[in-house]
Amino acid sequence: MKRWLVNGVAGAQIEVTDRGFSYGDGLFETIAVRDGRMRFFGAHYARLVLSCRRLLLPVPEQQALTDGAEKLIAGDANGTLKIIISRGPGERGYRLPQTVVPTCAIGFSPEAVMPSPVDGIVATVCATRISSNPATAGMKTLNRLEQVMARAEWDDPGIAEGLMQNLADDLIGGTMSNLFVVLRDQLWTPVLDESGVHGVMRAQVMNLAEDLGLRCNERRLTPGVLDEADDVFFTNSRVGVWPVARIASHEYTRHRRTLQIMQGLAERGVIECAC
Amino acid sequence: MKRWLVNGVAGAQIEVTDRGFSYGDGLFETIAVRDGRMRFFGAHYARLVLSCRRLLLPVPEQQALTDGAEKLIAGDANGTLKIIISRGPGERGYRLPQTVVPTCAIGFSPEAVMPSPVDGIVATVCATRISSNPATAGMKTLNRLEQVMARAEWDDPGIAEGLMQNLADDLIGGTMSNLFVVLRDQLWTPVLDESGVHGVMRAQVMNLAEDLGLRCNERRLTPGVLDEADDVFFTNSRVGVWPVARIASHEYTRHRRTLQIMQGLAERGVIECAC
């Protein structure tokens, strides 16, 4: 991120005692900026509010976030905005500070929009597993070491994403994305009650699916589903949809349903998908 | 922590782009300082080195750490030293930076030595579970949100520690300590291949146990063991040993073996245990 506001002030430093640094005690959002505006900000803010409540973090004011974002985006049309909310500085020990003064860091990087690759991406299956815990499942917390270790497994620029499984071998999602598989006229995506992140683009895809006559089910996905699937794709807020052309020994070529979904998203303003 | 060195320079700020803050991408050590010296520094450093290798982090020079620690401890006799090693500043995304410039933050707080409570402490059983993952098990990583949430479950100053279980109900340890139970002439402590931290004081106790005729076993501990146990105690580097007087409906009064262990540790320089 090129430009930062920390608690409303331009700058790029935080206290070493910040509990975000000590314990990963906080949350973040990564938001696509298109035509100078945050895309799906309402959905990002709603997730942030719910997650703050679950983690007993003070909820940041919506206005403060949008004011900060506007100041950072300034004249740029496209880019990525990141909002980090941590529990702020603290003494040693896990106990919550008596008075929490949260840290709100907002960063922005101008970036060109990369259209989703219509032919699909190549993905790998990571050896690093994602752990299960209902207490933190679904949230974008600052505890991301498993994703870091999974992403460190490959260096080949031809591989765009890595699929992560839990210890029971269930498919959970990409290191930085949600997973969908198309089977006949159904769309399946992993249930996120124990691991994974309730992605904003995931929710968009689920809303859209019904309009396309695709019944969308959240369910436990075992690796065998990759054999049976017609299409496989990943989603996230920044890239929109990534059709998967190859993952391990599985190849997918038609992407029929995936392309329909991308077209539907494009109509809803996800310009990466306008292919 | 009252006094800090960040990469060798006095100060208390880090970059907002530090991957320790973004992802909890790093490790820490908490070391007791007694009579102006770090206790069991060799064991702490050995764990740090092993953990850095597992996380693909550059290993900090031992001399740099001891020089920094000495500078911070200065004239104080007793206190707590914290060493944080993170993967340093990075761009957006989980991928490891091409050139890693790790952050080494060392903090020190002077503190009076609190003798271990011979009568034992009261502990609670936390509802928040600890997740399982061999990729991160045993290390003191900066991903500590589960411990934070567990510690937030109680506010009663009469409760000193909370026992955490994994999703399979196995006992793993305290929020900030390792767990031991005494059964007849055996000492049992949870196996840490999927969760928990390889505590420095835990290793000291395991070494000592044999000398006392207590066979020490690492094993899977189910909650029923609390019914059968003669003694239960927690250990960490700063508090030494905490005998448990009460946890949930279980009461322990004699602490016979625990007091033997405390005496043995006191002879090895763990002055909190000199009771």
B169: domain CATH number?
Answer: 3.20.10.10
CATH number (domain holding residue B45): 3.30.470.10
- Candidates B138, B105, B143, B109; CA nearest to B32 is B109
HSE value, Cβ hemisphere, 13 Å, CA-based, for B33: 25
One domain for residues B8 and B28: yes
One domain for residues B135 and B244: yes
Record: contact B96-A151, CB cut-off 8 A: yes
CA–CA separation, A62 and A26 (whole Å): 17
pLDDT in tens, A79-136: 999 999 999 999 989 999 999 999 999 999 999 999 999 999 999 999 999 999 999 9
Instruction: Tell me: pLDDT of B67 over 90.
Output: yes
In this complex, the residue of B13, B82, B136 whose CB is nearest that of residue A92 is B82
Q: How far is CA B246 from CA A229, B172, B189, in A?
A: 54, 18, 18
Q: How many domains is chain B partitioned into structurally? A: 2
Number of other residues whose CB lies within 10 A of the CB of residue A95: 15
Q: Which residues of A touch B10 (CB under 8 A)?
A: none
- The pLDDT of residue B275: 75
The nearest CA of chain B is from the CA of A148 a distance in Å of: 5
Record: contact B14-A19, CB cut-off 8 A: no
One domain for residues A82 and A106: yes
One domain for residues B142 and B48: no
Q: Is residue A115 part of a domain?
A: no
Domain edge (last residue) among A48, A80, A110: A110
Range of the domain at A81: 3-110
ipTM above 0.95, yes or no: yes
Domain edge (last residue) among A43, A78, A110: A110
- Interface A-B, measured as beta-carbon pairs within 8 A, has a size of 184
One domain for residues B164 and B233: yes
Q: Is residue B254 part of a domain?
A: yes
Q: Are B229 and B178 in contact (CB under 8 A)?
A: no
Record: contact B92-A82, CB cut-off 8 A: yes
Q: What Rg do the C-alpha atoms of chain B give, in angstroms?
A: 19
Instruction: Tell me: pLDDT of B64 over 80.
Output: yes
In this complex, the residue of B12, B19, B92 whose CB is nearest that of residue A109 is B92
User: Looking at chain B, which residue has its C-alpha nearest residue A106?
Assistant: B16
Record: contact A25-B148, CB cut-off 8 A: yes
CA–CA separation, A95 and A93 (whole Å): 6
Q: How confident is the model at residue B31 (pLDDT cuts 50, 70, 90)?
A: very high
pLDDT in tens, A212-234: 989 999 999 999 999 999 999 99
Q: Is residue A207 part of a domain?
A: yes
One domain for residues A105 and A168: no
DSSP secondary structure string, B202-215? HHHHHHHHHHTT-E
Q: B232 is written with which tokens?
A: 């239960």
Q: Is residue A12 part of a domain?
A: yes
Name the DSSP letter for residue A273: G
pLDDT in tens, B88-119: 999 989 999 999 999 999 999 999 999 999 99
Record: contact A143-B24, CB cut-off 8 A: yes
Q: Which residues of A touch B159 (CB under 8 A)?
A: none
Q: What Rg do the C-alpha atoms of chain A give, in angstroms?
A: 19
One domain for residues B127 and B192: yes
Q: Is residue A116 part of a domain?
A: no
- The pLDDT of residue A210: 87
One domain for residues B155 and B215: yes
Q: Which residues of B touch A92 (CB under 8 A)?
A: 1, 30, 80, 82, 109
Q: How confident is the model at residue B16 (pLDDT cuts 50, 70, 90)?
A: very high
pLDDT in tens, A32-57: 999 999 999 999 999 999 999 999 99
The number of residues in chain A equals 275
Q: Are B118 and B275 in contact (CB under 8 A)?
A: yes
One domain for residues B95 and B180: no
One domain for residues A56 and A32: yes
Domain edge (last residue) among B110, B142, B167: B110
One domain for residues B136 and B262: yes
The nearest CA of chain B is from the CA of A33 a distance in Å of: 15
One domain for residues A97 and A157: no
Instruction: Tell me: pLDDT of A1 over 80.
Output: no
pLDDT in tens, A150-163: 999 999 999 999 99
- The pLDDT of residue A275: 76
- What does the mean pLDDT of chain A come to? 97
pLDDT in tens, A51-73: 999 999 999 999 999 999 999 99
Mean of the pLDDT values across residues B22-47? Answer: 98
The pTM for the full model equals: 0.97
Q: Is residue B164 part of a domain?
A: yes
pLDDT in tens, B160-181: 999 999 999 999 999 999 999 9
Q: Which residues 6+ apart lie within 8 Å of B47 measured at CB?
A: B29, B139, B140, B198, B200
Q: What percent of chain B clears pLDDT 70, i.e. is strictly above it?
A: 100
